[in-house]
Structure 1
Amino acid sequence: MQFFKNIAKLIILVATLVASGPVLAERTLKLGTTGRLGMPIGDAIDQALIPAIAKASGGKMKVEPHYQKSLCAEQKCGEQANQGLIALWTSSTANYGNFGTELAIFDLPFIFKSLEDAKRISNEWLAERQCKLALQNAGHICLSVYSSGGFRQLGNATKSVRVPDDMKGLKWRVTKSPVEYMLVKNWGAVPVPYDWSQLYQGLQSGVVEGQYVASPWQHVAKLHEVAKYFTEIGGMWSGNILAMDAKQYNALSSQEKKWLHEAADAYGEKVNQLDNAWITNGEDAIKASAKEWYKPTETELSKWRAGAIGAWLDAKGTFEPDVAKRVLLEQGMNNFVTQLEKAGAL
């Protein structure tokens, strides 16, 4: 009789263990993005983020991607993350401004001298510093800061442009960005807000004569077919982030956070690698058909930077002057620091 009682207890114990399930259930992080496969952000999600998090966690954590605005786009993705509808999202640093100013420093014109400097300084300290502030203050943590298209470059259909005076009177397409509007105006052109989808036809017809767009996007849109003069001034870096809602991030275990950061690092490295190739291929194609691709001298670049000082003044209060100064000095941009300090922007 005791034998049967013991068997019954064993059956109950086994049933209880089965019903309780595994101690660590698989966690799925839903990701909303404008990126798509075939482009750096989408490919980096597919080739690095997803496999890296699966490998790090041994399959206990996975990313479920929703590409090409199928769920949301940038700011809306951030709002959905706050509502718990998704966990991860990608956005430009500019559109993150709707949640806080912690990443505004990445959008200051001429804050970075080159793609190499942007990556080095971001990876060494700036991204980690600003992302910690974002976690504390803005309801999101940025897990990776990276380029999407590099720097904007000037392209126009009318003539060679080497210094700002050469832009005087030209009708220059701008977005809704107040920084871009001020830059173009300070450089002497006439800012014309104009829809991206109509830009090719606008340049072709002369409704607008120039634009300031990241070079690989100029190539994707085939703007080099109708705009043959290019000026490599850099200036506005196309910063992007992979972010997560702070409440959901804080709810992760320390082990899960470790897996996530390991995967985000792999994603950041991959997206920068793919982005660099995209930029190079786009610029090579443009240069092959351009009448001129001009790279200004340092003296000429100082004139372009001077036109950005007004944008820095307008942005005061959204960035820490000491941090911005450190970024510039680490790149040897002492003269620009002097210009900014003289104007009261730092």
Structure 2
Amino acid sequence: MRIGKKLTVLIAVAALMLCSAQGALAAKVIKMHHLNKNGAFDNPSGAAAVVFKNLVESGTNGEVQVQIFPSGQLGKDAEVVQQVKDGIIQLGVHSVGAVGSVYPMISVLDVPFAFPNHAVAYEVFDGPFGKKLAGDITAKTGMKCLGFSDSGGFFQFTNSNHPIKTLEDMKGLKIRTMGLDTHKMLVSSLGGQPVSIAWSEVYTSLQTGVADGQMNPVPIVEFAKLYEVQKYLTISNHLFAPHVWMMNMDFYNSLTPAERQVVESAAKTAIVVSRGIANAIEASDRGLPFLSAKMEIYTLPESEKERFRAASQPVVIKYLEEHFGDEGKEMLNAFLDAIKEASK
């Protein structure tokens, strides 16, 4: 009798394990890539990812699961964009540099000194222009664009040679950029030498002198510990380059209407979270107050910023108009008009 009871228990446990395994197999899984460490308070993309995961899993009663692969575990960002397109993973939060490999016209966002402040940038990406751009990305790439989150705020210049206080101070500096032609052109127009380097290799390149400096938002300078290999930080606010949320279209289409609503709502909320965290970090002991003890910080006055703008903006706009033709001009004009409207 005792053996019979044990056998019954074992069968019951096995049945439960089988049901659990079948339930796990039945769940839809979103494998999610982002470039930075996971954590609700560590960095904008990490915060956005954990919030997205929580909202999707709770909103679908676990029918849709999210597995996060942070810190570029799946490869270089541009490589992972292709993995999303091929359906190897389902969702990526990508830099504009990576998105440029499948949607080159993302470069219209690279007009230097275009945004006056964060509020205008957020309004532009959440408004009609953002919807237009997301729709075009979806149509051209075959991937669903879910929106545009904050990569950490406005781009600033850092370097290890000398303070950048005037346009002339840029001359000859080897500045790391993403692979985008517009970023390289921006640096060249200011008198620097652009050096295209993958994000995973930036710290070592700055440490060894392959590059003198780089450009990124303040939170990225902090959490990537670039202050260890850079001495000078110049607050220039010259670019705002969002992270782009890209989902495999076949997977998106496999979701029920209710699941799609949850996923899209979760992405929108996560995007708002990324912006709050980016601004909070910049203003906290992990942002400018922290970096001021590690680096020499200088803010470009408006008069000098205008010199930077005059040297770089016409060059990039001319390139965009010539390179992308009428379609590029139309998207560029829509972008600039949206900024004017949001700035009123």
Render the CA deviation track for 1:126-156: whole Å, top value 9, x for unaligned.
3222112222221111212112122221233
Partner of 2:203: 197
User: TM-score, normalization: structure 2?
Assistant: 0.78
Counterpart of 2:35, as a letter, is: T
Deviation at 1:286, TM superposition (A): 1.8
Where does 1:250-329 land on structure 2 (aligned, <5 Å)?
A: 250-280=253-283, 281-297=286-302, 299-306=303-310, 307-316=312-321, 317=324, 318=328, 320-329=331-340
Tell me, yes or no, if structure 1 residue 165 matches structure 2 residue 171.
no
Deviation at 1:289, TM superposition (A): 4.1
Tell me, yes or no, if structure 1 residue 45 matches structure 2 residue 11.
no
Number of equivalent positions: 306
Please report the RMSD computed on the Cα atoms of aligned residues, expressed in angstroms: 2.9
The 1-side partners of 2:229 and 2:62 are apart by 50
Partner of 2:6: none
Matched position secondary structure for 2:287: helix
Q: Structure 1 stretch 86-95 or stretch 69-78: which is displaced more?
A: 69-78
Structure 2 portions without partners, runs of 5+: 1-18
Aligned counterpart for 2:152 among listed residues 149, 154, 160 = 149
Q: Larger Cα Rg: Structure 1 or Structure 2?
A: 1
The 1-side partners of 2:196 and 2:73 are apart by 27
Assess, with a 3 A threshold, how the Cα gap between structure 1 residues 66 and 137 changes in structure 2: closer, same or farther. same
Assess, with a 3 A threshold, how the Cα gap between structure 1 residues 210 and 36 changes in structure 2: closer, same or farther. closer
Assess, with a 3 A threshold, how the Cα gap between structure 1 residues 49 and 288 changes in structure 2: closer, same or farther. same
Counterpart of 1:196, as a letter, is: V
Structure 1 portions without partners, runs of 5+: 1-17, 334-346
Deviation at 1:227, TM superposition (A): 4.3
Counterpart of 2:175, as a letter, is: R
Counterpart of 1:174, as a letter, is: R
The 2-side partners of 1:127 and 1:257 are apart by 19
Partner of 1:28: 29
Q: Is the 8 A contact 1:32 1:73 kept in 2?
A: no
Identity %: 22
Where does 1:36-115 land on structure 2 (aligned, <5 Å)?
A: 36-38=37-39, 39-40=42-43, 41-46=45-50, 48-101=51-104, 103-115=106-118
Q: Is the 8 A contact 2:124 2:342 kept in 1?
A: no
Render the CA deviation track for 1:89-108: whole Å, top value 9, x for unaligned.
12112211222245333333
Deviation at 1:208, TM superposition (A): 5.4
Assess, with a 3 A threshold, how the Cα gap between structure 1 residues 70 and 185 changes in structure 2: closer, same or farther. closer
The 2-side partners of 1:116 and 1:110 are apart by 15
Tell me, yes or no, if structure 1 residue 136 matches structure 2 residue 139.
yes
Partner of 1:339: none
Matched position secondary structure for 2:136: helix
Aligned counterpart for 2:121 among listed residues 118, 121, 133 = 118
Counterpart of 2:292, as a letter, is: K
Counterpart of 1:149, as a letter, is: G
Deviation at 1:241, TM superposition (A): 1.8
Q: Structure 1 stretch 120-129 or stretch 208-217: which is displaced more?
A: 208-217
Partner of 1:241: 244
Q: Structure 1 stretch 237-246 or stretch 181-190: which is displaced more?
A: 181-190
The 2-side partners of 1:93 and 1:233 are apart by 19
Assess, with a 3 A threshold, how the Cα gap between structure 1 residues 63 and 226 changes in structure 2: closer, same or farther. closer
The 1-side partners of 2:296 and 2:228 are apart by 11
Counterpart of 1:197, as a letter, is: Y
Deviation at 1:51, TM superposition (A): 1.3
Deviation at 1:331, TM superposition (A): 4.9
Counterpart of 1:28, as a letter, is: V
Counterpart of 2:174, as a letter, is: W
Render the CA deviation track for 1:182-227: whole Å, top value 9, x for unaligned.
2222212344566513344346xxx755433332333345444564
Partner of 1:174: 176
The 1-side partners of 2:115 and 2:299 are apart by 19
User: TM-score, normalization: structure 1?
Assistant: 0.77
Matched position secondary structure for 2:243: strand
The 2-side partners of 1:166 and 1:87 are apart by 44
Assess, with a 3 A threshold, how the Cα gap between structure 1 residues 50 and 224 changes in structure 2: closer, same or farther. closer
